[in-house]
Amino acid sequence: MIKVEYLVFIDSKNVKCTNIQSFEHLIQSDPDIEIDNGKIVFKKKFKASYSINSGKIAETEKVYFHLKFSVTKTTEIDKLTELLKSVKSIFSIITKSPQTLFDGISQHYANKAYPTIYEIENLMRKLITKFMLINVGADWTTEKVPDDVKNSINKDNKDSTYLHNVDFIQLKNFLFSEKYTVSKDNLINKLKSSKDLSELNLDELKQMIPISNWDRYFSSEIPISQEKLNQQWSELYDLRCNVAHNKTFTKSDFKKVTELVENLKPIIEKAIEKLDSIGISKEERNNLEEEVAGNFSPLFGHFISMWKEFEDVVYETVDAKVRNEQAKLIDKKRTLSGDLRLLKNLKYFDDNTYFTIIRVKEIRNRLVHFDDNISDDRVLSGIAQLKNTIDKMKGWL
């Protein structure tokens, strides 16, 4: 059975409608509507069950009317919808705000839409979970999320099905977000520290521009733009909210859900298939870890940004000082650790400075792997030590 109920108050002073008889006369002013012995007839063909009662609002003389409409077959839902559209147009004559007490039509279409929404939502969760597990590691679910997602997560969650506590609209930000403060800070610091254009390398600057995981790993092989995919997911989210919060949900809404899911499903499935073939370098993995760690808290973000600046200054120092003096000492497969040892061996760093940097590097490693035992004071100390070392090294350049 499909049932719809309304509660109607008489707001207009120009309409005399004080009892059920006068109210039914008003409804039947539409030539397509007739009321006959518990039935309401529309366009002489369609019949729906109908009942009405009335009363007065407490401590006032205002009258209310409670109307119920129903059909037994879901095949009659379109005709019922058409009837109620005409009925509600009459309501507008006497009231500004008829209240829907129960909307069986919305319930019917929401129930039909829910399994489809559930399927696509969990398909997206599957894609993100596998992507993060492969590329960040098994402990990513502790806190490794972009800024956009962080606030939507229940921090007390201990469930292994972590993403089920992430809001639907935030799921897309794992793939589409470019709001990684670390990348932006590095770009800003690079520009600030440069004295003229000759010190800037265009390719290096482009590498610092924040880019979403979708654009980096999926867009080249999946024929849909990030903007369009993002837009479709947002449209689906709005419709999902109507289902989740028992709002009006029409046949056209159901059709739109079906259309969006039919578009999104093959795209997400193709992205899942591509996961096994994604090759992420150690450097890219480190960057991904630092991005998500840097967005965990402003303090972590500050440290990671300072660490990235330190890495840049180390490489610049080796390029500027060592290459000119002893180029053969520079390993073709350069690493930060190798460059640090090189600077120590060439006496640019004394033992105390070198081992201080190694301890700060340990802070960096613990942050990106989210060691809960590291204190804020330790992180602040690391920031201060990095700043002192960076300032000293910039004086060599």
Asked whether residue 393 carries a pLDDT value surpassing 80, the answer given is: yes
Q: Which of 40-44, 255-259, 332-336 has the lowest mean pLDDT?
A: 332-336
Per-residue pLDDT, 184? 55
Q: How far apart are CA 339 and CA 360, in angstroms?
A: 16
64 and 135 inside one domain: no
Q: Which of 109-118, 349-358, 373-382 has the lowest mean pLDDT?
A: 373-382
Tell me which long-range contacts 113-116 makes (C-beta under 8 A, separation of at least 24): 113/239, 113/243, 113/249, 113/253, 113/254, 113/257, 113/258, 114/243, 116/257, 116/258, 116/261
Q: Which residues pair with 237 in a beta bridge?
A: none
Give the residue among 335, 285, 328, 306 at the shortest CA–CA distance from 393. 306
Mind giving me the DSSP string for 326-346?
HGGGS-SS--HHHHHHHHHHT
pLDDT band at 7 (very low <50, low <70, confident <90, very high): very high
Instruction: Write out the residue range of the structural domain in which residue 388 sits.
Output: 297-394
pTM of the model: 0.62
In this prediction, residues 45-50 reach a mean pLDDT of: 94
Per-residue pLDDT, 182? 46
Q: Does 205 map to a domain?
A: no
143 and 269 inside one domain: yes
225 and 128 inside one domain: yes
Between residues 377 and 80, the one the model is more confident about: 80
Q: What is the pLDDT of residues 98-148, one digit of tens each?
A: 899 999 999 999 999 999 998 998 888 888 777 766 665 544 444 444 444
Q: Does 153 map to a domain?
A: yes
Give the residue among 66, 65, 35 at the shortest CA–CA distance from 48. 35
Dihedral (CA of 125, 300, 134, 283) sign: positive
pLDDT band at 6 (very low <50, low <70, confident <90, very high): very high
Q: Are 185 and 305 in contact (CB under 8 A)?
A: yes
Please classify residue 378 by burial: count the beta carbons closer than 10 Å to its beta carbon, then call 0-12 exposed, 13-18 middle and 19+ buried.
middle
Per-residue pLDDT, 158? 45
Per-residue pLDDT, 331? 56
Q: Which of 27-41, 45-59, 205-219, 348-362 has the lowest mean pLDDT?
A: 205-219
For residue 234, what are the contacts with CB-CB under 8 A and spacing of at least 6? 169, 172
Q: Are 90 and 30 in contact (CB under 8 A)?
A: yes
Per-residue pLDDT, 292? 53
Last residue of a domain, one of 72, 97, 122: 97
Percent of the chain predicted with pLDDT > 70: 69
77 and 216 inside one domain: no
Q: What is the pLDDT of residues 225-239, one digit of tens each?
A: 888 888 998 899 899
Q: What is the pLDDT of residues 152-208, one digit of tens each?
A: 445 454 444 445 555 666 666 667 766 544 455 566 666 666 767 666 666 666 665
Per-residue pLDDT, 205? 63
Please classify residue 227 by burial: count the beta carbons closer than 10 Å to its beta carbon, then call 0-12 exposed, 13-18 middle and 19+ buried.
exposed
Q: Does 14 map to a domain?
A: yes
In this prediction, residues 19-40 reach a mean pLDDT of: 92
Count of domains for the chain: 3
Q: How far apart are CA 304 and CA 295, in angstroms?
A: 9
For residue 147, what are the contacts with CB-CB under 8 A and spacing of at least 6? 177, 179, 180, 181, 295
Last residue of a domain, one of 74, 97, 120: 97
The secondary structure of residue 71, as a DSSP letter, is: E
**Torsion angle defined by CA atoms of residues 278, 284, 289 and 292, in that order, rounded to the nearest 10 degrees:** -80
Cα angle for residues 357, 360, 363 (degrees, 5° grid) = 160
Tally of CB atoms within 10 A around 181: 19
C-alpha 1, offset from chain centre: 37
In this prediction, residues 16-44 reach a mean pLDDT of: 91
Mean of per-residue pLDDT scores for the chain: 79
How many angstroms separate the first and last alpha carbons of the chain?
80
CA distances from 292 to 124, 287, 304, 383 (A): 19, 9, 10, 18
Asked whether residue 217 carries a pLDDT value surpassing 70, the answer given is: yes
240 and 325 inside one domain: no
Q: How far apart are CA 34 and CA 366, in angstroms?
A: 75
In this prediction, residues 347-356 reach a mean pLDDT of: 88
Q: Are 116 and 257 in contact (CB under 8 A)?
A: yes
93 and 116 inside one domain: no
273 and 318 inside one domain: no
Asked whether residue 349 carries a pLDDT value surpassing 80, the answer given is: yes
In this prediction, residues 42-51 reach a mean pLDDT of: 94
119 and 216 inside one domain: yes
Q: CATH code at 31?
A: 3.30.70
- Please state the length of the chain: 397
Q: Does 53 map to a domain?
A: yes
Asked whether residue 31 carries a pLDDT value surpassing 60, the answer given is: yes
Between residues 88 and 151, the one the model is more confident about: 88
Per-residue pLDDT, 20? 92
